[in-house]
Each structure stands twice: as structure tokens, then as C-alpha cells.
Amino acid sequence: MTSTTATPDLVLDELDLLAGLLPLADLDILELGCGAAALARALLQREPSTRLTGLEVDERQHAKNVSAPQDRLHFALGGAQAIPFADARFDLVLMLKSLHHVPVPLMAKALSEVARVLKPGGHLYVSEPVYAGPFNEVVRLFNDEEVVRRFAQSAVDEALRIGPWTQVDERRFQMPLRFASFEEFDQKLMRPTFADHRIDEALQARVREAFLPHLKADGAHFLRPMHVRLLRRG
């Protein structure tokens, strides 16, 4: 008998996945490490009764966010380990590829802070990239996140062990990524405003060499494996 391993679902828009797991109407939502808040803005377009606050630690990105206001969307500056809001304020907290960016010694504190600001029965949605696949093989040349991603999952496991959490769902999926050119990849991934990857000419050449076999006439296409865990606060 031959065993087969199911291929994770392809998800074009993570908001569709989130909406399939939870009703999103009339909620107070907090996104930690919101970046440019693309999903947050799209969510509010879908749900006219919902309110969302984006917390971002990168001062330059925060300045860009507040310069592009949107109804029912508010921004604050700060890290997940010290959330500047009152207890039991939110119905849902989102961490979209952000938990592994919290300093490892502060991950447990960050999850404790999430529990503090969530209402009893509220949810935490943690979406983390999986350390695998061709895209990861290119990125790890200049930004190897194997250790911090492992610690992020361990922090969730420990939070579940000590409470007040229950895991109510878990999903694995793939998200498509496209870059029109190596220059676009370089600008977006290798030189973010929130980190210095110490890119010199030699490293840039190594990354380019690894990237170019994926570049076709219509750009470079990748599938990024993702892992979502949905927790409910007791």
C-alpha cells in the first residue's frame, strides 16, 4: 500500500482563510506588527461594522500608516511585548508573520500581553511562515529565520500549556508570491525598513544567483508554505 501526503491548500488571499475560521463582523481587532496593514484595510472594506487597530514597532512604517488614514482604522507605535491598551479591550488579535520578529526572550511576554488585552472568549490568530521550500532557500541566504521561527512555535506551545488558551483550529497552506524582477525582490525583501541584513556586493551576487533560475518571462513565482494556529482565550 502506497502512502500519500496531501499537498497543502493554495490560498490566494489569507483574509478568505481568516473569514472562514471566524465571523469578523462587529469586532474590535488588534493587529500586532501590522506592517503596511494591507489585510487590515481589506478586512474593513468587507466588514463595515468592524474596528481595527494596527500596532507597529517600525517608526518609518508607522509614519506611512498614519499618513494614509482610513475610517475605523487606527494606528499605534509599539511592540507586542508591551501592548499600550487596556485589559480585555479586543475581540480578536492578529499576528501575521510577526511573532517570529518578537525578540526570543520576549515572545512569552508578548503572548501574555495578548491574553491580557483580549476579552474572555476572544481569539488569537497566529500565521507563521514555514521554514521550507524554494522561496525559503533563497531568503535564508541573507535572512536565516530557522531559529526564531522554531522559537515562535515553541512559544505558542508553551502558552497553550500554561493557559489561558485553547487551540481551536490549525491550518497549513501555501501562498503564491510573484516578483517581476530580481530588483523588486532585492528592494522588498533584502532591504526592509525594519532590519539591516548587511547586504554587500558579494552577498547580493549570491542571492541573485539563487533567484535567477526561478525568473521566467512573466516573473519569478514561488509558493510560501504557511502555518496558522487559532487560539481562544479562556
Q: Which domains does the chain have, with CATH numbers?
A: 9-130+145-176+226-233 (3.40.50.150)
pLDDT of residue 194: 82
pLDDT of residue 7: 76
Helix (H, G, I), strand (E, B) or coil at 11: coil
d(CA 27, CA 163): 23
Helix (H, G, I), strand (E, B) or coil at 88: coil
Read off the C-alpha cell for 182.
530580481
pLDDT of residue 1: 39
Read off the C-alpha cell for 108.
512569552
pLDDT of residue 5: 54
Helices 107-117 and 146-162: angle between axes, nearest 10 degrees: 50
Whether the upstream peptide bond of residue 164 has omega within 30° of 0, thus cis, is yes
pLDDT of residue 193: 81
Helix (H, G, I), strand (E, B) or coil at 90: strand
| Burial tier of 89 (Cβ tally within 10 Å: 0-12, 13-18, 19+) | middle
Alpha-carbon radius of gyration of the chain: 18
Residue pLDDT tens, the chain, 234 long: 344 456 789 999 999 999 999 999 999 999 999 999 999 999 999 999 999 999 999 999 999 999 999 999 999 999 999 999 999 999 999 999 999 999 999 999 999 999 999 999 999 999 999 999 999 999 999 999 999 999 999 999 999 999 899 999 999 999 999 999 999 999 999 998 888 999 999 999 999 999 999 999 999 999 999 999 999 999
